[in-house]
Amino acid sequence: MTPPTSALLISNRLDRSHPTYERRRGAMPDVAQGPAAAGLRGRLDRVGMGQIEVPVRLVDAEGVERLVPARAEAFVNLADPEAKGIHMSRLFLRLQEQLAAEPLSLRAVVRVLESLWESHSDLSDEAHLSLEFDWMVQRPALVSANTGWRIYPVRIDASLTPRGVRLHLGATITYSSTCPCSAALARQLIQESFDRRFAAGGPLDPDEVRAWLGTPEAICATPHSQRSLADVVVEVADADDAPGFAELINQVEESLCTVVQAAVKREDEQAFALVNGQNTMFCEDAARRIKTRLDQESRIVDYRVRCTHQESLHPHDAVSVVTKGVAGGLRA
């Protein structure tokens, strides 16, 4: 009588002293090997695994290393039309081994790609890897002496083909966008409120005007603004000379000026209101701001920027997309 499965397990591993384990060590069928079934032959562009749970080793600006949970996709192509399939466990084990070997860098990613391809060099001539994880940065407040952590979703997409290696970095940056149209309409209402209050004419008392400006009657309308997202993907030409995530995020944030804050006291909130008032923008403006900054970066050979303004005025989003326009490159 075969004992229940639980009797075979010790600490989530099969009890190797159990007779069942000895029987399992013998020859086992491998239906993935051999030729493809008749009528089902042909090349496949990608075969592999998605949503692989892996840790990546990140080193911060102070040289401190930490493990961060990530999700990976690992693929090779099936270039042999007669082969039935690939060895998925090879991809998984190579990925785990290589990511644990060194801190994450683009050069390390290239080494992982080469290892994935080598594991199937008899079947494939391409390898593809994607990594998604969160990049954490401590940010100072706008005015106060406080700091707070920000988390940015980031991504690496890498491919190794007979044409060479292609490397893409991606990041999502959250910012605030105040509508220029709404701001102009609000100013018009404030002007009309001023006309009604001081319609009598004659000389104006600066103290009286100043006091009036501090009332709800004066600032009777405010422009609408919304939390907005910039999804940025860039292609770099050189794994050893490329902007890192921190640098890429900083470049985008500096171009927008209105990034959301972590630690906020009243003085920070007031400063945030000021910077939003000085940087009103449509989604088109935001995309062009980022484009202008990325065009100045020689290490970036291509990019795609998607700006989404999650409107507070209506239930749909305002979206703009811009690419560098490289032939055969990233597209909207």
Type of residue at 113: L
pLDDT tens readout for residues 279-303:
999 999 999 999 999 999 999 999 9
3 state DSSP class of 177: strand
Q: Which of 190, 213, 236 is the last residue of a domain?
A: 213
Tokens 């084990």 identify what position?
93
Residue 160 falls within a domain, yes or no?
A: yes
Around Cβ 70, how many Cβ atoms within 10 Å?
Answer: 21
Same domain, 147 and 100: no
pLDDT of residue 78: 94
Instruction: Please indicate, yes or no, whether residues 166 and 75 belong to a single structural domain of this protein.
Output: no
The last residue of a domain, from among 89, 108, 130: 130
Question: For the chain, how many structural domains are there in total?
Answer: 3
**Do 167 and 259 sit in the same domain of this protein?**
yes
Cα pseudo-dihedral 162, 330, 300, 157, rounded to 10 = -60
Cβ burial, residue 99 (10 Å; 0-12/13-18/19+): buried
The verdict on 122 and 256 lying in the same domain is no
Q: Reply yes or no on whether the pLDDT at 238 is more than 90.
A: yes
261 in any annotated domain? yes
Instruction: Specify if 236 maps to a domain.
Output: yes
Answer whether residue 92 is part of any domain. yes
Residue 205 domain-assigned (yes or no): yes
Q: Using alpha carbons, select from 126, 169, 158 the residue that is nearest to residue 302.
A: 169
pLDDT, one tens digit per residue, over 165-213 is 999 999 999 999 999 999 999 999 999 999 999 987 788 999 999 999 9
For residue 35, being part of any structural domain is answered with no
**Residue 46 in contact with residue 77, Cβ under 8 Å?**
yes
- pLDDT confidence tier of residue 63, bands split at 50, 70 and 90: confident
pLDDT grade, residue 111 (50/70/90)?
A: very high
The CATH number for 251's domain is 3.10.270.10
Which tokens sit at 105?
């860098």
Same domain, 67 and 166: no
Do 173 and 192 fall into the same domain?
no
* 156, 300: one domain: yes
Q: Is the pLDDT of residue 12 over 80?
A: no
Domain residues for the domain of 62 are 42-130
Domain shared by 174 and 193, yes or no:
no
Question: Is residue 73 domain-shared with residue 200, that is, in the same domain?
Answer: no
Flag whether pLDDT at 254 surpasses 90: yes
DSSP 261-316: -SS--HHHHHHHHHHHHT----HHHHHHHHHHHHTT-TTEEEEEEEEEE--SSSSS
Are 155 and 261 in the same domain?
A: yes
Predicted TM-score (pTM) of the model is: 0.88
CATH number at residue 47: 3.30.479
The verdict on 125 and 89 lying in the same domain is yes
Written as one letter, the residue type at 114 is: E
Do 124 and 175 belong to one domain?
no
| Percent of the chain whose predicted confidence (pLDDT) is above 70 | 88
Asked if residue 2 is part of any domain, the answer here is no
Q: Is residue 208 part of a domain?
A: yes
Q: Per-residue confidence at 22, pLDDT binned at 50, 70, 90?
A: low
